[in-house]
Amino acid sequence: MSAPKTIIAPSILAADFAKLGEEARAVEAAGADWLHVDVMDGHFVPNITLGPDIVKALRPHVAIPFDVHLMIAPVDPFLEAFVAAGANIVSVHPESGPHLNRTLKRIRELGAKAGVVFNPSTSPSVIEYMMDEVDLVLVMSINPGFGGQSFMTSQLKKIETLRRMIDATGRDIPLEVDGGVTPQTAPLCIAAGATALVAGTAVFKGGPGAYADNIRALRGS
């Protein structure tokens, strides 16, 4: 039996911000599985990007799931707004609130899937006793805050560890990697156990005519 197709989630952060709706439609047409939305507050990470109003404006343009990564603290007050705006998956950092378990439960209560994001220094052990509350695991292979950084190979061991933890649950939890993902680093992530890849520059370079080829290159097909 062939391996399942790797989920590709282009990061809208690398798109042309003057025409986000058009860019979202273009990557969906090119074969993207999810649209990854990086939300930064200038406090938890050193950059400011977008808020729920932009997510709401983008939602009618595509049918693929919105994979929303909240790099904001405190995160709890904003969960409802992002789910109401159209987020299908909401991922948070353990460091962005006092009670990760409560945050994940709240995301699920709102009707979205709940993800946990691991910064390069965050240990997989933070979710060891609450895997039943987790619908997505996201490993940052760069320090969050800016696109275009180089892939940190030190995170491959973490991906392997989290793969074992997920497999032990018997649940189909996507294991996603974000940061420096290119056609060269994607196979390393997949070999370590990743099933979903976030890519910004690697998808959006070359303009809409190149998106389908860029996505195929990340999948290795």
The answer on whether 204 is annotated among ligand-binding residues is no
The answer on whether 36 is annotated among ligand-binding residues is yes
33, 41, 67, 178: the active-site residue: 178
The answer on whether 179 is annotated among ligand-binding residues is yes
- Looking at the DSSP bridge assignments, the partners of residue 72 are none
Please give the Cα distance from 123 to 170 (Å, whole number).
21
The answer on whether 178 is annotated among ligand-binding residues is yes
The answer on whether 220 is annotated among ligand-binding residues is no
The answer on whether 170 is annotated among ligand-binding residues is no
The answer on whether 180 is annotated among ligand-binding residues is yes
SS3 label, residue 97: coil
Alpha helix locations (H) across the chain? 20-29, 52-58, 79-85, 100-109, 156-169, 186-192, 201-204, 211-219
33, 38, 67, 135: the active-site residue: 38
Taking CA atoms, 11 is separated from 53, 122, 201, 215, in Å, by 17, 22, 8, 12
Active site residue 178: yes
Active site residue 38: yes
The answer on whether 61 is annotated among ligand-binding residues is no
The answer on whether 82 is annotated among ligand-binding residues is no
**175 φ/ψ angles, rounded to the nearest 5 degrees:** -115, 110
Sign of the dihedral defined by the CA atoms of residues 73, 79, 81, 82, in that order = positive
Please report, in range form, the residues annotated as the binding site for a divalent metal cation.
36, 38, 69, 178
Query: Which residues are catalytic, by number?
Result: 38, 178
Known binding-site residue numbers: 11, 36, 38, 69, 145-148, 178-180
Q: Which residues sit in the known binding site for substrate?
A: 11, 69, 145-148, 178-180
